[in-house]
Amino acid sequence: MAKHRVIPVLLTDGVSLVKGEQFHSWRTVGSVVAAARVFSMRDVDELMLLDVSATREGRCIAPAMVKSVADCLSVPLSVGGGVATLEDFEATLRAGADKVVLGTAAVRDPQFVTAAALRFGSQAVVVAVDSLADDADAVAVESGNTRVEMSPVELAREVASAGAGEILLQSVSRDGLLGGMDLPTIRAVAGAVSVPVVASSGAGEYAHFFDALSHGADAVAAGAMFQFTEQTPRGARNYLAQRGVAIRMAD
């Protein structure tokens, strides 16, 4: 039986682990490698590493950092941050990523998504849809700094038909606040595409995961919740399993 995934997210500024709040991520909170090792110890389903300063600084996430995280894991790793060319994409895969998350570059040029899917396979291409706020008709690019007049549903449709294999749905207004996820948008986006949707941003307790999955998400992701509250990926899986969700039970 196919299982839903619970995915911890690590945010970095290129040097350290940072905490995000509404896409502002100045607060350094530790070492990326240390955090990756802890999650590996906890036998998570998958891990996501996003460099939130890369686009702003005009660079791509450093392969050395990707490798240092990939070397800790025997589960899949999705990586994003400033990937703007096919060379960036390839370098990120070669450094150890299994899937590459495209943000700004995909929104600005959906053909890049197609080119990446053709060269590396759709299953390696994840596109981030950063909804600005609940009910907003707009998304954001450049780590939440620039508004684009396009609804999350429209963007999701466009990149899915361009070849994205997975959509990472985030919410700028709910990011890092532990207050719950944007369920109507999750439902709308999940209903608009036929590729898996990973719902992220806003989860603060296990019940939020359940809600997101009930609204059509294939997987759920969280950053702040796993690093700054007592809750753990295992606790999430146990909770979801008890509520009848198909979830992987780690050994």
Residues that bind other proteins (CB under 8 A): 1-5, 14-16, 26-31, 33-35, 37-39, 41-43, 45-46, 62, 64-65, 67-68, 70-71, 73-76, 90, 93-99, 118-124, 165-166, 194-196, 218-219, 226-230, 232, 234, 248, 250-251
Burial (0-12, 13-18, 19+ Cβ within 10 Å), 64: exposed
Comparing CB distances to other proteins, the nearer of 171 and 232 is 232
* Distance between CA atoms of residues 138 and 51, nearest Å: 22
CA angle, corner 92, sides to 91 and 98, nearest 5? 130
A 10 A CB-CB count for 101 gives 25
CB of 176 to other proteins, least distance (A): 13
The nearer residue to other proteins, 75 or 138, going by C-beta atoms, is 75
Compute the least distance from the CB of residue 112 to other proteins, in Å.
17
Q: Which is nearer to other proteins, 62 or 222 (CB)?
A: 62
Give the number of C-alpha atoms closer than 13 A to the C-alpha of residue 126, restricted to the C-beta side: 26
- SS3 of residue 126 by DSSP: strand
Nearest to 166 by CA among 42, 250, 76, 52: 76
Q: Residue 194 class from Cβ within 10 Å (0-12 exposed, 13-18 middle, 19+ buried)?
A: exposed
Q: Which is nearer to other proteins, 155 or 219 (CB)?
A: 219
* Residue number with CB closer to other proteins (62 or 141): 62
Closest distance of CB 151 from other proteins, Å: 21
Tokens of 118: 């053709």
* 5 versus 174: smaller Cβ distance to other proteins: 5
Of residues 90 and 134, the one with the C-beta less far from other proteins: 90
Q: Which residue has the tokens 């590396």?
A: 120
Shortest CB 29 distance to other proteins, Å? 5
Min CB(142)–other proteins separation in Å: 19
Distance CA 214, CA 210 (A): 6
From the CB of 21, what's the least distance to other proteins, in Å?
12
Q: How far is CA 235 from the centre of its chain?
A: 20
Q: Which DSSP category does 247 fall into?
A: B
The least CB distance from residue 134 to other proteins, in Å, is 24
